[in-house]
């Protein structure tokens, strides 16, 4: 390893940048924060291993656009997209485009740290995609048809109420299904579900 991996933080809000930088430091990550995608592209050290945490909504270039640009440039930098509340469809789109993860605001910092750790570990320890697919398949197989429906609606960015409406079930039932889906897929978050669902797609 030439050097410690670095966490790139791109957010147009200085308080966010500052707090995340301190957070990264508090858990022992080296980090650098940029006020915009453009600043990141301009200043980041792409030679160095690491990951990118980027807010989807920013002045200037958005997080999605940045991720697409990096994809186009053949960058292997894992990208964690931070989305606003209700921006799931955009996050799913980002993941299809290669983002490794997304976090919906308000997210838990501990979860962010876990995801960052995972990203950095995966960089050094390339996991077998096939084994992941096999694991995902076996987990998906446990879902009932109704749970599968619920999962697809979740991936489509729908909330409990919308799911309940779509399936003509009560919100409480929708919540129960969602909980079952999360448990069966060993998912901690919506992004886990999306990731598994995406793995199953060709």
**Cβ-based nearer residue to other proteins, 179 or 200:** 179
Alpha helices by DSSP H, listed for 28-108, are 37-43, 63-72, 88-96
Q: % helix / strand / coil in the chain, to the nearest 5? A: 55, 10, 35
SS3 119: helix
Angstrom CA distances, 25 to 21, 28, 43, 101, 157, stand at 6, 5, 20, 21, 33
Mark residues 84-103: x for contact with other proteins by CB under 8 A, - for none. xx------------------
Position of tokens 């995801």? 115
**Cβ-based nearer residue to other proteins, 143 or 171:** 171
Angstrom CA distances, 53 to 18, 75, 85, 173, stand at 13, 15, 17, 35
Residue 45 sits in the site that holds other proteins (CB under 8 A)? no
Mark residues 101-140: x for contact with other proteins by CB under 8 A, - for none. ----xx--xx------------------------------
**Cβ-based nearer residue to other proteins, 171 or 199:** 171
Residue 22 sits in the site that holds other proteins (CB under 8 A)? yes
Q: How far is the CB of 201 from other proteins (least distance, A)?
A: 29
Q: Smallest Cα–Cα separation from 60: which of 31, 85, 39, 82?
A: 39
Stretch of 21-29, 130-138, 142-150, 187-195 contacting other proteins, by CB under 8 A: 21-29
**Binding positions for other proteins, rule: CB under 8 A:** 13, 15-16, 18-20, 22-23, 25-27, 84-85, 105-106, 109-110, 159-161, 170-172, 175
């Amino acid at each position: 390893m030439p050097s410690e991996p670095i966490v790139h933080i791109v957010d147009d809000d200085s308080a966010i940048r500052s707090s995340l930088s301190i957070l990264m430091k508090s858990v022992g990550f080296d980090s650098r924060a940029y006020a915009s995608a453009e600043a990141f592209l301009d200043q980041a050290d792409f030679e160095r291993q690491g990951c990118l945490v980027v807010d989807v909504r920013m002045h200037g270039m958005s997080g999605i656009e940045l991720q697409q640009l990096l994809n186009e440039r053949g960058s292997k930098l894992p990208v964690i997209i931070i989305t606003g509340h209700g921006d799931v469809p955009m996050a799913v789109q980002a993941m299809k485009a290669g983002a490794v993860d997304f976090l919906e605001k308000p997210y838990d910092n501990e979860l962010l740290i876990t995801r960052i750790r995972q990203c950095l570990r995966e960089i050094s320890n390339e996991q077998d995609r096939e084994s992941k697919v096999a694991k995902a398949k076996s987990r998906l197989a446990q879902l009932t048809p109704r749970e599968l429906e619920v999962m697809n609606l979740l991936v489509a960015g729908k909330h409990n109420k919308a799911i309940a409406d779509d399936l003509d079930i009560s919100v409480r039932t929708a919540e129960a299904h969602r909980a079952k889906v999360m448990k069966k897929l060993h998912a901690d978050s919506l992004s886990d579900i999306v990731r598994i669902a995406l793995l199953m797609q060709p």
